Amino acid sequence: MGWLHGIRSRLRPLLFRATVEAELDEEIAFHVERQAEEYVRAGMPAGEAREAALRAFGRVDAVKEGVRIERGTRLLEDTGRDFRYALRKLRRNPGFTVAAVLTLALGIGANTAVFSVVNAVLLQPLPYAEPDRLVLLWNRSSSAGAQRMPVAAPDVAVYRERAKGFERFGFTEGTLDLSLSGREGPLHVRAGRVDPTFFHLLGVRPALGRGFSGREDVLPPEILDDSSATIPPAPVMLSHGMWKARFGGTVDVLGRDIRLNGQPAVVVGVLPADFELLLPPDVGVGRRADLWLPIRVDLSRLQRVDRLTDQDSDNTGAVIGRLRPGVTLEQAQAEMDGIAARLREEVPEYRHAGLRIDVVPMKASAVEHTRRILLALWAAVGAVLVIACLNVGNLSLARMLGRSGEIALRSALGANRWRLARQMLTESVLLAALGAGLGLLVAGGALPLIRKAGPADLPRLADAGIDGAALAFTLGCLLLATLFFGLAPALSFSRDGAGGHLVRRRGVRAADRHGRGIRNTLVVCQVGLSLTLLITAGLLLRSLLSLGEVSPGFEPRRVLTFELSLRYPDRYLGPADRAAFVHQLEGRLASLPGVEAVGLVGRLPLAGDLWTQPYGLDGASVEEWSANEADFRMVTSGYFRAMGIRLLAGRHFTEAEDLYERERVAIIDERMATRLGGTDGNALGKRLGFPLDGAPVWARVVGIVEHVRHESLTGNGRETIYVPYRQEASREFAVVMRTSGDPSRLVGPARDELRAFAAHLPMYDVRTMTDYIAAATSPTRFALGLIGLFALLALFLATLGLYGVMSYAVRQRRREFGIRMALGAPGKTLIRTVVASGLTLTGIGIGLGLAMSFVGSRFINSMLYNVGKVDPLTYSAVTSLMVLVAALACYVPARRATRVDPAETLRHEI
């Protein structure tokens, strides 16, 4: 209450200053009158009484001033006056104001935009209940390198039983591609699979209906053990998007019967709109599933899959654990180390693989792949703001020197130094506030563009917006900016003695010398920072160019791909059925006009799906296989031609191998060939062991093809084994069509063909191979786009700064130039002098920038490809560009100075 009263009593004099003053006058007048009456009553003549009353009152001005001081509003009133004054000054100087405000708006706006992204992606806690206690658990094989591996479902049951530091565990398998029957034909849907307690673990409540429950949704043993028992329809939870798009977003969706791959299922709930499963991209669990199915078997009943013998099992996935309150990550890791040790004793394969279990915070691992790129962006945009501030600082400094006369006069009239410095700061705050306001608009405009350009693996990018945090950050930028560019002029001013300025010539010179020192420092910093940004952008550009030159190992142009899933309970049951289906489909697609070749592959390169298997060379025992890991692809005979993968030696698979089970054969890539004795054909005929269809097999190598970059464009990738699709016909696969023209024109015909042939199968992920290549380079392009933009902005601002400093310097030396020209010095010499002094500053800045680039390039190292951190070409090109631009920025004002008539200059002495 006390403070409220304080505010009210201070607010009135501020808001109603005139009234308050009038009241004070009235009060004093009343007092004096009343006192005079008193004197009259005591017998004094009326004329004298007033005089006496006034005398008794004391100095009216002093009293009034005393009252004003006691109101406690002095500081605020002064500030208000400063603001009005500053506003007037800024209005009177529109050129400066517009330049400064725009510069700051760009700097602050870009920062706010990038901050919103960083905040949404990196800083915000995961959208789950008590996310700090959530951890991911990974398997790692100490013998097969640092590769993370999914956890087997029955292990989760073991964790639940033994791990005491955890409240609960949740388990989710990779998504399934299913076909949802509907009136408009089958729709492809991605189904996430979770154990029934999964959403409960995350603390995600359904927006509608019920969530899965361990009691209702796990099938009782009597059903599972009785093969003749009818299995009740699967409960389904819809994603919010799916509910809106396909089910009209109505409540009566609950309890509705649907068909997934022909199987009955029933909708039991809808997830909230903002639900997203944030897992690292390499888990293979889709961030956005269209619907969710519970794993209806107790996890302990699922078989622990022997990775050596069975790859196509779904019993592995990602495990999320919730730590008990107070349990640290280290304690949890120590406990899991113990559990891993016991599992190694109990399970032979784990003993061979040297099983380790890693416990990592869920948040860190969900966003770790984005951390570096975002921090690099943040640093870059921060540098732009610093340059912007330096520029505005420079401008204000020049303006302040121009106002030295006014300031000298004011200080001579008794304004104290602190008061004047405060006024300078007020101007800076006003500028920064205008800049920040406009900057918010800039950020608001830029964010949709960033959201659109962002790479697909940047999670939660859609959440980036101008929210409270962003506003607070902008305010922080504003304050920092004010300090940054406002303090320099304020300080430089208060350091100059005040009186000196009145002695005009000497004062100006002294202030000028001092100001020039500051201004030169600012310019050096600007050049340094923008050089750093330019070099960073240059390195990224070079990387992108190198990425464009990388041969992925196939010919991506004119290739259309789509995926199919044959997961039906009553059809395509055996590999032979699937192979026959595929063969027919290929034949029909190949007959379409414009199609040159058709093939099939289990998983497309660069599509983010990995499929690796252990393998052994001739003579190795099966136990030793787990030391090796190769990419594994099942393909039909047409695949290599359709994808444009060159055959280096041996032969392709044959059509007979597509259809019938024969001798086990394999085609290997050149990398594997090197391990088997060389690409020149020595590897042909050698035997290679790997698990296939649940059993270890040995296959004869019949062909060697080019190495394909399956995982990423930049990584070297693993050796690859190709086997005929017939041998282990996966249920999901991609069809690859090489076309003679624009591949997208075949989408319609291919779809029609499929509908005529198998109407119940929806094709999905219809894309060209160039799409996949573009997606693989999108993080680099995203970073390059933004950092490049920031670098250009920085170069522009730094050039502007240099230009300003040189113009100012030239103007100061106009008299000197006039004299020298009058004495016959050629204009060229003078220009050279000016340019040389400007280039000296640039040179120092470049030195600074090179040093900073050297340190800073570590941030973007992970995005660089085929270009050294200290790439001579980039460094020299960027440095030359900087020198060139700087020389131009110096030349223009210098030339202008020499154009002026010397006599005019001499007469026009400042």
Partner 1 sequence: MAKVRSDLLQGTLDMIVLKTLELEPQHGWAISQRIRHISQGVFDLNDGSLYPALQRLERKGWITSSWQVTENNRRARYYRLTGAGRKRLAVEERKWVRASTAVNRILGIAYAGG
Contact 518, 397 (CB under 8 A): yes
Q: Indicate the DSSP class of residue 462.
A: G
The total of other beta-carbon atoms located within 10 Å of residue 496's CB is: 22
Q: What gap in Å lies between CA 84 and CA 76, rounded to an integer?
A: 12
For partner 1, give the closer residue by CB, 31 or 664. 31
Q: Residue 71 CB, nearest distance to partner 1 (Å)?
A: 6
List residues binding partner 1 (CB under 8 A): 2, 5-6, 9-10, 23-24, 26-28, 30-31, 34-35, 38, 56-60, 62-63, 66-67, 69-72
**Cα separation, 397 vs 801, whole angstroms:** 12
Alpha carbons 664 and 655: distance in angstroms, whole number: 14
User: How far is residue 503's CA from residue 90's CA, in Å, rounded to a whole number?
Assistant: 27
3-state SS class at 335: helix
Cα angle 333, 334, 335; round to 5? 90
Q: In the complex with partner 1, which residue's Cβ is closer, 30 or 418? A: 30
Of 31 and 148, CB closest to partner 1: 31
**Measured distance CA(363)–CA(206) in Å, rounded:** 22
Q: Are 350 and 149 in contact (CB under 8 A)?
A: no
Closest separation in Å from C-beta 9 to partner 1: 5
Nearer to partner 1, 74 or 646 (CB): 74
Please, what is the minimum distance in Å from the beta carbon of residue 30 to partner 1?
A: 5
Give the integer Cα–Cα distance in Å for 639 and 582: 12
Rounded to a whole number of angstroms, the minimum distance from the CB of residue 81 to partner 1 is 21
Tokens of residue 628, six digits: 């090796």
**Closest CB to partner 1 among 9 and 416?**
9
Task: Please tell me the distance from the alpha carbon of residue 647 to that of residue 655, in angstroms, as a whole number.
Answer: 17
Nearer to partner 1, 70 or 549 (CB): 70
**Choice between 38 and 753, CB closer to partner 1:** 38
Which residue is associated with the tokens 């009597």? 222
Smallest separation, CB 445 to partner 1 (Å): 47
Environment class of 235 (CB within 10 Å of its CB; exposed 0-12, middle 13-18, buried 19+): buried
Please identify, using beta-carbon distances, which residue of 45 and 66 lies nearer to partner 1.
Answer: 66
Nearer to partner 1, 24 or 789 (CB): 24
Neighbours of 371 (CB within 10 A): 14
Rounded to the nearest whole angstrom, what is the least distance from the CB of residue 67 to partner 1 in the complex?
5
We find the least distance from the C-beta atom of residue 99 to partner 1, in angstroms, to be 44
Q: Which residues pair with 668 in a beta bridge?
A: 704, 721
Which residue, 26 or 314, is less far from partner 1 as judged by CB? 26
* DSSP-assigned states of every residue in 52-93: HHHHHH--HHHHHHHHHHHHT-HHHHHHHHHHHHHHHHHHH-
In the bound complex, what is the minimum distance in angstroms from residue 73's beta carbon to partner 1?
A: 9
Q: Which is nearer to partner 1, 4 or 910 (CB)?
A: 4
CA-based Rg of the chain, rounded to a whole angstrom? 38
Q: How far apart are alpha carbons 252 and 121 in whole angstroms?
A: 35
Minimum CB distance to partner 1 smaller for 54 or for 224: 54
Toward partner 1, which CB reaches closer, 63 or 329? 63
User: Which C-beta is closer to partner 1: that of 72 or that of 445?
Assistant: 72
Q: Are 826 and 909 in contact (CB under 8 A)?
A: no
Which DSSP state fits 127? S
Neighbours of 712 (CB within 10 A): 16
Please, which residues have CB within 8 angstroms of residue 517's CB and are 6 or more apart in sequence?
none
Structure tokens at 544: 């992108």
Rounded Cα–Cα distance for residues 212 and 406 (Å) = 76
Q: What is the distance in angstroms between the CA of the first residue and the CA of the last residue of the chain?
A: 60
Distance CA 213, CA 364 (A): 29
Beta strands at 616-617 and 687-692: parallel, antiparallel or unpaired: antiparallel
Minimum separation from the CB atom of position 33 to partner 1 (A): 8
Closest distance between partner 1 and the C-beta of residue 29, in Å? 10
Query: Is the Cβ of residue 68 or residue 675 nearer to partner 1 in the bound state?
Result: 68
Residue with tokens 């849907």: 189
Q: How far is the CB of 80 from partner 1 (least distance, A)?
A: 19
Is residue 529 within 8 Å of 442, Cβ to Cβ?
no
Residue type (1 letter), 198: F
Q: Residue 57 CB, nearest distance to partner 1 (Å)? A: 5
Q: How far is the CB of 69 from partner 1 (least distance, A)?
A: 7
Least Cβ distance, residue 17 to partner 1 (angstroms): 15
